[in-house]
Chains A and B, each alone.
Chain A
Amino acid sequence: MFKSFEPNKIFSITSRAPKYVLFLFIIVLLIGLMESLILSPEDYKQSDAVRIMYVHVPAAWIALGIFSGLALLSIGSFVFKNKNFGLIAKSLAPSGFVFNIIALVTGSIWGKPTWGTWWAWDARITSMLILALFYGMYLLAWRIFENKEQATKVTSLIAILGVINVPIIKFSVDWWNTLHQPTSINILSTNTAIHGSMLIPLGIMTAAFALFSLLIFLMKYNTELIKVKNKGLDRL
């Protein structure tokens, strides 16, 4: 079922793709920066502080998306006994972690002018911090366990346990009274609280961030494949 998904077959694509993805990322990022810093309007309440949204929100979305992906791949590696799932998950994790940190730091910077504080132990912020801890544990486990089978099992367990936190993050603003604003965009309905003039830069920045995570994933995946091949050369 996963034969066309084997590392040998996809390396020829993943080794060539990064330069094209990097080029596309730079173009989309430049357009996104122009839109979000210059062309988009200021908010009637938050004034120009609202521009922080264009880095904070895409970073949080991608951090959540990647962690959900890690959990799905971990379940896949248990069910289908496919080692490549573990390799893909391992390659996705670093960019997810960095996006999580970006979401926390930019959220903190945004908090100061809007809430008057850099940090609050609020449900959304705390659950995002917990996600960063899960990412940290996941990345550390790959470093600590030298036995690959053991590392795959431990990291999969961390990802599956950690994904319980994802819906908590999503619905934290509805379940508890929080400083954080409620959801403004619902992809399942057309009812969004953000004006089109702000949605466009948000969409472009999300595309740029997604391209960046794809770029890092491809480079990291190639690194992992070459590591495997280096061990193969030792065994010859």
Chain B
Amino acid sequence: MINEIISMNGYGAYVWSAFSFTLISFTALYFVTKLQLSKEKKIFASKFGSLNIEKARVARSQDINKEILSNISNI
């Protein structure tokens, strides 16, 4: 059974390489995108941290900034 699945009637090399290429591409794209997202979150956290009290209050008044800040703990 296992041998049949691996050999695929002689087409195993083609079938497995096509599926492997697809899954490797998915994994690479997922991790590159995740890395870019984490990088931007870190930049946001460091910029937010360097704001003075008044500017931080203004920034925090925007809902989206609050959402990003609550997300940063998930990096």
Number of cross-chain contacts by CB at 8 Å = 112
Q: Complex: how many Å from CA A16 to CA B2?
A: 40
- Which partner residue on chain A sits nearest B34 by CB separation? A219
Residues B51-66 near A (CB distance < 8 A): 51, 55, 58-59, 62-65
Contact A236/B59 with A11-B67, A223-B40, A229-B44 known, Cβ cut-off 8 Å: yes
Chain B interface size band reads 35 or more
Is the beta-carbon distance between B15 and A230 smaller than 8 angstroms? no
Partner of A48, one of B11, B29, B51, B68: B11
B3 within 8 A of A: no
13 further interface pairs, Cβ-Cβ under 8 Å (given A11-B68, A47-B10, A49-B14): A12-B67, A38-B5, A42-B9, A52-B15, A59-B22, A98-B29, A105-B21, A106-B22, A113-B14, A212-B30, A216-B29, A223-B36, A229-B65
- Main DSSP-derived SS at the A contact region: helix
A58 to B30, CA, bound (A): 18
B71's closest neighbor in chain A, by CB? A15
| Pair A109/B17 contact, Cβ less than 8 Å | yes
